[in-house]
Amino acid sequence: MSHEIRQMTFEDYDQAYRLWSQSEGLCLGDDDSRDRIEVYLRRNAGLCFVAVSEGKLVGTVLCGHDGRRGVLRHLAVMQGHRGKGVARALIKAGLTALGRSNIRKCNLYVEDYNPDGLRFWEHLGWYHVKYDYRTLQIPQLLTWYLRFLAVSCHFS
Ligand SMILES: CC(C)(COP(=O)(O)OP(=O)(O)OC[C@H]1O[C@@H](n2cnc3c(N)ncnc32)[C@H](O)[C@@H]1OP(=O)(O)O)[C@@H](O)C(=O)NCCC(=O)NCCS
């Protein structure tokens, strides 16, 4: 069974989403809607990859960066296609593309409930950062901005 690795396109969304939904260890949310993934693919053009076997999508990796750090997300390989080096090939494609964008470091996040995923990354030589940061988030940027604006106007 051969696998082709190619860049992900918008047309891959339905099959990719199905794979993500079936993949233990992946956490999906509103950022995974069609619209949000389209924004992600546009922003990170040439950095996201799929694995295809006999015309069917069987693996994905989303890569992005902020000009300083790369981030890998949604690495998933369909059951039945695992253990054949597909994830390795996807990661290589993603990291090579990040390298071409002159990005030298890369992070990724593993869910607490995904010890298998953690063992996988450790097997490939990834390691825990020495000190973990607390990750803070503004859930709705626009709402926050409008509130910020209202407070600023109040004081000006
Ligand atoms: C983790 C996952 C992507 C691996 O995909 P895969 O295509 O089977 O991986 P590969 O065949 O490329 O394996 C690469 C190497 O990792 C090893 N490996 C695979 N799964 C492993 C695991 N759970 N723990 C330790 N090592 C593992 C393989 O034996 C192989 O080793 P080798 O090349 O040194 O012989 C796949 O199991 C998956 O989709 N899991 C669910 C989603 C997930 O957890 N993703 C990671 C989110 S952080």
CB atoms near residue 17 (< 10 Å): 17
Report yes or no on 156 lying in a domain: no
Report yes or no on 102 lying in a domain: yes
Rounded Cα–Cα distance for residues 21 and 146 (Å)? 34
Tokens coding 101 = 């964008």
Taking only the tens of pLDDT, the chain with its 156 residues reads 899 999 999 999 999 999 999 999 999 999 999 999 999 999 999 999 999 999 999 999 999 999 999 999 999 999 999 999 999 999 999 999 999 999 999 999 999 899 999 999 999 999 988 777 788 888 788 787 787 778 777 665
C-alpha of residue 82 to centroid of ligand 1, in Å: 7
**CB-based pocket (< 6 A), ligand 1:** 23-26, 75-77, 82-88, 110, 114, 116-117, 119-120, 123
For residue 56, the cross-strand partners are 53
Q: What is the pLDDT of residue 155?
A: 60
Report yes or no on 98 lying in a domain: yes
Decide if 77 contacts 87 (C-beta within 8 A): yes
Residue nearest to atom 17 of ligand 1 (CA): 120
C-alpha of residue 135 to centroid of ligand 1, in Å: 26
Ligand 1 binding pocket mutation candidate from 88, 112, 120 (most atoms within 8 A of CB): 120
Ligand 1, atom nearest to 122 Cα = 25
Q: What is the pLDDT of residue 135?
A: 84
Report yes or no on 134 lying in a domain: no
Report yes or no on 140 lying in a domain: no
Residue range(s) defining the domain that contains residue 89: 4-129
Report yes or no on 67 lying in a domain: yes
* CATH number for position 14: 3.40.630.30
**Structural domain count, the chain:** 1
CB atoms near residue 91 (< 10 Å): 20
Rounded Cα–Cα distance for residues 53 and 147 (Å)? 49
Q: What is the pLDDT of residue 131?
A: 77
Report yes or no on 111 lying in a domain: yes
Closest by CA position to 15, among listed 59, 68, 49, 47: 59
Tokens coding 131 = 């000190």
Report yes or no on 141 lying in a domain: no
Ligand 1, atom nearest to 114 Cα = 44
